[in-house]
């Protein structure tokens, strides 16, 4: 069908106007083409991001980078729960789980479906025999669907809280419900007041991570200060019995002078990169 419709003749010339239906069809095709191109761009951006955050290479890099953290957390667990027969729950299966298993044979993990979760924080070791409770912490506000399971003398909640887009009171209340009487909860999370973040902010740079395209492996949604952690957990029946700061992970490469300066500055604990809080259950 012609895109033009003749109206009338003036002399030997034909006056025509564009068929509105044809114009609409062309605009729809152009719009679909633009959407397809943008979709292609977004898919490529997501592919690059996944390679950086959720690939086998990124998983091994994460394991290597956080070995010191895993060892320090295990020592902290042993100090507060010395009994190797204690029932332990690790929130978010990772290589930390393998470290815990070196001392505690009765470790259970809790988190997303293991077949659906391919995040860069996942374990590198084989853990096929380790029990797993499938529960998305983003549903912690749904008290009616909290999983019913045995209680635990120790819960390790390490580097998970900052990835959650749900009020942390719901999460801590849920974890409290899983603790045995006088059970211990050890929480580690990036320190929102880390000196490196303060310096980046002073230079006009955003110190926090942007939201990721690949929502199945979200980055840091919200980071917390030491006081915030204590206030939130205490509001739902947990008692904070100790708070510490660590400099995890240790930076690699870069200027030796810069590294030496940061090490000196971070001698002041609140300037360090990671915050650790130890809680005890005091209210059912």
Same domain as 71, residue 30: no
Give pTM, 2 decimals: 0.86
pLDDT at 210 over 80: yes
Give 108's Cβ-side CA count (13 Å radius).
18
> For the ranges 29-33, 129-133, 183-187, which has the lowest average pLDDT?
29-33
For residue 143, the enclosing domain spans: 65-281
> What does the block give as tokens for 243?
């708070």
pLDDT of 215 reads 83
3-16 pLDDT per residue, tens: 444 444 444 444 45
Same domain as 180, residue 80: yes
Q: Mean pLDDT across the stretch 163-171?
A: 97
Same domain as 137, residue 23: no
Could you tell me which of 224, 118, 101 has the C-alpha nearest to residue 172? 224
Q: Mean pLDDT across the stretch 267-274?
A: 94
Same domain as 30, residue 84: no
Total domains present in the chain: 2
Same domain as 45, residue 161: no
Tell me, yes or no, whether 234 lies in a domain: yes
When the pLDDT of each residue in the chain is averaged and rounded to a whole number, the result is: 89
84-114 pLDDT per residue, tens: 999 999 999 999 999 999 999 999 999 999 9
pLDDT of 4 reads 42
Tell me, yes or no, whether 224 lies in a domain: yes
Alpha carbon distance 93, 80 (integer Å): 21
The bridge status of strand 179-190 relative to strand 152-158 is parallel
Beta-bridged to residue 278, according to DSSP, are 186, 242
């Amino acid at each position: 069908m012609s895109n033009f419709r003749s109206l009338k003749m003036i002399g030997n010339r034909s006056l025509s106007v564009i068929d509105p239906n044809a114009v609409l069809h062309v605009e729809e095709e152009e719009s679909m083409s633009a959407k397809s191109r943008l979709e292609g761009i977004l898919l490529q951006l997501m592919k690059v991001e996944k390679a950086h955050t959720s690939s086998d290479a990124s998983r091994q890099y994460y394991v290597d980078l956080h070995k010191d953290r895993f060892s320090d957390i295990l020592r902290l667990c042993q100090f507060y729960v010395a009994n190797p027969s204690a029932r332990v729950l690790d929130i978010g299966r990772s290589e930390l789980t393998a470290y815990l298993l070196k001392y505690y044979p009765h470790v259970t993990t809790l988190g997303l479906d293991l077949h659906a979760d391919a995040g860069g924080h996942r374990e590198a070791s084989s853990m096929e025999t380790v029990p797993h409770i499938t529960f998305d912490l983003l549903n912690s506000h749904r008290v009616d669907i909290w999983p019913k399971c045995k209680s635990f003398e120790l819960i390790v909640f390490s580097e998970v809280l900052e990835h959650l887009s749900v009020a942390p009171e719901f999460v801590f209340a849920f974890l409290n419900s899983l603790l045995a009487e006088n059970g211990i909860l050890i929480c580690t999370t990036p320190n929102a007041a880390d000196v490196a973040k303060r310096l980046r902010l002073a230079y006009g740079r955003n110190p926090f991570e942007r939201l990721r395209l690949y929502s199945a492996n979200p980055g840091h949604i919200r980071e917390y200060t030491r006081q915030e952690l204590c206030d939130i957990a205490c509001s739902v029946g947990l008692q904070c019995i100790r708070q510490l700061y660590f400099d995890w992970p240790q930076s690699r490469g870069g200027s030796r002078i810069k590294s030496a300066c940061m090490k000196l500055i971070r001698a002041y604990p609140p300037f360090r990169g990671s915050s650790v809080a130890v809680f005890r259950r005091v209210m059912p």
